[in-house]
Amino acid sequence: MSTGIQIRNLAKRYGDLTIIPDLSVEIMSGEFFTLLGPSGCGKTTLLRMIAGFNSIENGTIAFNNQVINHVPAHKRNIGMVFQNYAIFPHLSVRENVKYGLKLRKIPKKEMNERVDQILEVTQIKEYADRLPENLSGGQQQRVALARAIVVHPTVLLMDEPLSNLDAKLRLDMRSAIREIQKDIGITTVYVTHDQEEALAISDRIAVMNDGVIQQIGSPHTIYTRPANLFVGGFIGHSSFFAAKRKGNCVVFSDQYQVEMSNLVSDCGEQDVYVGVRPEEILISANETGIPAIVKRSTFLGRYIHYVLECQGCTLLGEHKDLEFTQEINVAERTYSSGDSMMIQVNTKSINVFSASDQTSLIEGVSRNV
Amino acid sequence: MFKKGRRPLDFWTVITALLFVLFLIFLVAPLLSLLLSGFRSPETNAFTLDNFRRFFQKKYYYQALGNSFAISFSVTALVLLVGVPLAYLMTFFHIKGKGFVQILIIISMLSPSFIGAYSWILLLGRSGVVTKFFAHLGIQTPTIYGFGGMLLVFTLKLFPLVYLYVSGAMKKIDTSLVEASSSLGCKPVRNVITLIMPLILPTLLAAVLMVFMNSLADFGTPMLIGEGFRVMPVLVYKEFMSEVGSNANFAASIAIIIICVTTGLYLLQRRVVNKMSFRMTTIKSIEPKTLTGVKGFFAHLYIYGIVLLAIIPQITVIYTSFLKTNGSVFVSGFSLNSYRTMFSKMASTIGNTYLYSFAAIIIIVILAMLMAYVSVRRRNVFTSILDIVTMFPYIISGSILGIMLLMAFNKPPLMISGTAMIIILAFVIRRLPHTLRSSVAILYQINPSVEEAAISLGESPGKAFFKVTAVMMIPGVLSGAILSWISIINELSASIILHTGSTKTMSVAIYNEVFRASYGTAAAISTVLTVTTVAALLIFFKATGKKEISL
């Protein structure tokens, strides 16, 4: 009975400035959908358009295929959670939560039951009669969540709800939000710039940049098989080699080339960028590979993080550094600054992008799954 | 699920349009008609520059402009000389009775300057107490009338402005800045010159403008104490109100000259301040030190001396209100006769004052909050209009405002001259900008998402404003409004032009009584006004929990 959101050819402009040129996406009913991207990518703008706080310059937004472009915000029956909580400071916790129910003229008995129930679910019952100023950030955020959910909104919209919390609390709230959302089964659109948060909490993620959705997919897909160079660079810590593709081979340097089994069908020789994550680098058991010198090493407990200078091949980026993490448990030896090593890449997990249009050359990877 | 159809008219679009219409009818149209009438010939009503020619050809007229500049420059210089050291001493050192001194300074600022003028006449005027005392000893005291008297009254009335501005700015200087400067080898005295003065300079300039404009625009003081020393506001008033040969067009052209001067000064000041302004973050303000020995003695002497001088008018007024009078002459002994006369003859002025001022302040608060909202949150045409509105009281003095409204509203369709409405309107226009500015500042501190939260829960935008944002704004707006209310009940220069017999306010009554030389009743009304002012000030302190006001 939950609601799907259909967005078609949506555009947002402020005067001459185009924030979102042309965006289409379908958010499934009951799913936890995250808009992820760097600041200024238009994710909050999109969320506020769904909420009705931003005007729509072109295209349509529909709830269950009913266009809502001209329905004002207060009639859309949304639940919204704001970055700064936006708790009414002059009302007690209970009155805050009751606010939307009163507007919906819910009978008193039912209203009290629903408030009590949601206070319990969000674990703020003991603070019910306090004023918000006496609550911690995490507690305030629970109030905001309870207030948004208790009205049984069509969709739940969350705008960076955790970014003002400290790291530990963020983790707790993250799982709380996820659990509550799954229990109630409400369609949720969640905005964040924190990729770890997005990966942990979402059913699907839309990675945005410059008002354009770069890729939509499950957290696993987005992380392991980025559809283009932007997504590959934005998610995780990839280093990029400038390399050549010849048939099924990727040539890193005169000394090192690998054969791939999952490249899209051959179109001759072309320039490519190879995205390699720090954990996708292996230390060569023999003399084949890329020779590298350790510039810096940082001990991180379970891992050692190295910054390497590679020889005979080209890396993108200002410093032309290659990042490599070595798991301590399985390490035969560790290295210090100045040591040299021979490295290889894990051909099963690395990503190859066309240098000309920056899209992935891995078979079966698409922008929209 | 949702009703189809055209988007309904947004609440804020309606409000914006409404405010815009009010702005056109009550500010733009009257101002334009004032400006236009200055260029019209009184005889033929044709467009002409004759009015201006006449002004600049006759010494009688253009001398007033020179006089106005002379008095304003002198006052500004003297006020800086008095006010800045006062602020420095009060901020950087422990002064005994600091809180009390501060309250006395604020009271002497809030009470109207014509009461100051009038009580200095009681003391140093032709038949003043001090004058008579020295005359007995065969010593002739210098005259209080004319330039000197105005200088004295204005300085004592306006130094608190500089004091409040500058000490506010000095409190914002972080102590670490002074420490950093000292650690780099700067001596304390050089600190003042190289560090503190530059840091307070933008504020100081704002204060200078305020002082200059105030002394340029004030009407009551020169009228009472100026005598032969003619200044512009008096000239405008006389040209406009005189029984014989009243000349509205000529008065309007004089008003235009004043407006040009004030607008020019205002824009210049704003340009300079904008260029110089910078942001400071204050974590720990400067800790006052203890002054010992001779230094401490002279610091206290200076501060107490000035504050005593400033508060003498209030004391004189309250004291004389209890004296026995015979006609206009004070006789020995005390009585409550002045109060009896006041209540029997002028009770209505007290009622009027309260009624008009409360009506005005309610309108001001509502308008200010709505205007602040549309200009901050909606960023439409009003954002730019806001600037003009806030600049209005700086460039249009009270008497010019009075003339402007009278000329605009003494004919249909909006014939409100002679009614209470026009006085309330003048009050609103004069004090709205102050409340508007504080509302804007308060609104900037309230996150828009609180209101959006209410809307997302199903509240309509209009209701969300009143139930959420307005509720959050109101404490700050109201406490600022108390100060506006105080200056409304003390307003003279516009109400003197707009009042009729039945719409007289207390300050107008005081002015009339002084002119009729009924000093006893004047003192009684002044006392009521002063007591009201102090009471309101105490409420303000209670409401804000602070013993100071910031401007």
Beta strands B329-334 and B323-326 are: antiparallel
Whether B2 and chain A come into contact, CB under 8 Å, resolves to yes
Residue B455 to residue A74, Cβ atoms within 8 A = yes
Alpha-carbon span B76 to B78, nearest angstrom: 6
Closest CA to A347 of A229, A241, A269: A241
> pLDDT, tens digit, for every residue of B466-508?
999 999 999 888 888 888 899 899 888 889 889 888 899 999 9
Whether B276 and chain A come into contact, CB under 8 Å, resolves to no
Distance from CA of B453 to the nearest CA of A (A): 6
Task: Please give the pLDDT value at position B281.
Answer: 72
B461: nearest CA partner in chain A:
A74
Whether B461 and chain A come into contact, CB under 8 Å, resolves to yes
A72: nearest CA partner in chain B:
B7
pLDDT-based confidence at residue B359 (cuts at 50, 70, 90): very high
For the four alpha carbons of B339, B345, B349 and B352, in that order, the dihedral sign comes to positive
The pTM of the full predicted model, rounded to 2 decimals, is 0.80
pLDDT-based confidence at residue B550 (cuts at 50, 70, 90): low
Distance from CA of B26 to the nearest CA of A (A): 32
A70: nearest CA partner in chain B:
B7
Whether A99 and chain B come into contact, CB under 8 Å, resolves to yes
Distance from CA of B382 to the nearest CA of A (A): 18
In terms of Cβ atoms closer than 10 Å to its own Cβ (0-12, 13-18, 19+), residue B407 is buried
Name the class of domain B330-551: mainly alpha
Report the residue from A68, A80, A151 with minimal CB separation from B452: A80
Q: What is the phi-psi region of residue B209: left when phi exceeds 0, alpha when psi lies from -120 to 50, beta otherwise?
A: alpha
Whether A89 and chain B come into contact, CB under 8 Å, resolves to yes
Domain boundaries, chain B: 330-551
Whether B450 and chain A come into contact, CB under 8 Å, resolves to yes
Position B93 pLDDT exceeds 70: yes
Q: Which residues numbered 177-236 in A keep a CB inside 8 Å of some CB on B?
A: none
What domains, with CATH codes, occur in chain A? Answer: 5-224 (3.40.50.300), 232-354 (2.40.50.140)
Whether A144 and chain B come into contact, CB under 8 Å, resolves to yes
Chain A hits for B455, CB-CB cut-off 8 Å, are: 52-53, 73-74
Residue A82 to residue B452, Cβ atoms within 8 A = yes
A153: nearest CA partner in chain B:
B457
Position B276 pLDDT exceeds 80: no
Phi, psi (degrees; rounded to nearest 5) at A79: -115, 130
Distance from CA of B372 to the nearest CA of A (A): 20
Phi, psi (degrees; rounded to nearest 5) at A343: -120, 155
The type of residue at B234 is V
Alpha-carbon span B214 to B211, nearest angstrom: 5
Whether B446 and chain A come into contact, CB under 8 Å, resolves to no
pLDDT-based confidence at residue B5 (cuts at 50, 70, 90): very low
Task: Please give the pLDDT value at position B245.
Answer: 61
Task: Please give the pLDDT value at position B78.
Answer: 95
> pLDDT, tens digit, for every residue of B64-91?
999 999 999 999 999 999 999 999 999 8
Residue B458 to residue A68, Cβ atoms within 8 A = no
Residue A73 to residue B7, Cβ atoms within 8 A = no
Alpha-carbon span B495 to B504, nearest angstrom: 8
> pLDDT, tens digit, for every residue of A203-253?
999 999 999 999 999 999 999 999 999 999 999 888 999 999 988 889 998
> pLDDT, tens digit, for every residue of A15-71?
889 999 999 999 999 999 999 999 889 999 999 999 998 889 999 999 999 999 988
Alpha-carbon span A314 to A242, nearest angstrom: 5
Closest CA to B232 of B62, B363, B394: B62
pLDDT-based confidence at residue B3 (cuts at 50, 70, 90): very low
Decide: B342 and B525 in contact? Cβ < 8 Å. yes
> pLDDT, tens digit, for every residue of A288-330?
889 999 999 999 888 899 999 988 888 888 778 899 998 888 8
Chain B hits for A74, CB-CB cut-off 8 Å, are: 455-461, 464
Whether A6 and chain B come into contact, CB under 8 Å, resolves to no
Mean pLDDT score, B312-339: 82
Identify the weakest region by mean pLDDT among B82-96, B162-176, B230-244.
B230-244
Position B426 pLDDT exceeds 90: yes
B475: nearest CA partner in chain A:
A90
Task: Please give the pLDDT value at position A111.
Answer: 93
Residue B456 to residue A74, Cβ atoms within 8 A = yes
Mean model confidence pLDDT for chain A: 90
Helix, strand, coil percentages for chain A (3-state, nearest 5): 25, 35, 40
pLDDT-based confidence at residue B551 (cuts at 50, 70, 90): low
Position A366 pLDDT exceeds 50: yes
Decide: B527 and B318 in contact? Cβ < 8 Å. yes
Question: Could you give the ipTM of this predicted complex?
Answer: 0.78
List residues bridging with A206 in a β-sheet.
A35, A216
Alpha-carbon span A280 to A277, nearest angstrom: 5
Dihedral angle of Cα B381, B384, B387, B388, to the nearest 10 degrees: -70
Closest CA to A338 of A292, A303, A290, A305: A292
Chain B hits for A84, CB-CB cut-off 8 Å, are: 447, 449
pLDDT-based confidence at residue B243 (cuts at 50, 70, 90): low
Alpha-carbon span A1 to A185, nearest angstrom: 9
List residues bridging with A73 in a β-sheet.
none
Whether A87 and chain B come into contact, CB under 8 Å, resolves to yes
Query: In whole angstroms, what separates CA B303 from the centre of its chain?
Result: 24
Identify the weakest region by mean pLDDT among A102-111, A348-357, B43-52, B152-161.
B43-52
Alpha-carbon span B470 to B464, nearest angstrom: 9
Mean pLDDT score, B116-135: 84
Residue A100 to residue B458, Cβ atoms within 8 A = yes
Q: Cis (ω within 30 of 0) for the bond into B233?
A: no
Alpha-carbon span A161 to A99, nearest angstrom: 20
Mean pLDDT score, B272-283: 75
Q: Cis (ω within 30 of 0) for the bond into A291?
A: no
Report the residue from A86, A147, A151 with minimal CB separation from B447: A86
Q: Hey, how many other C-beta atoms are within 10 angstroms of the C-beta on A179?
A: 11
Whether B449 and chain A come into contact, CB under 8 Å, resolves to yes
Count of residues making up chain B: 551
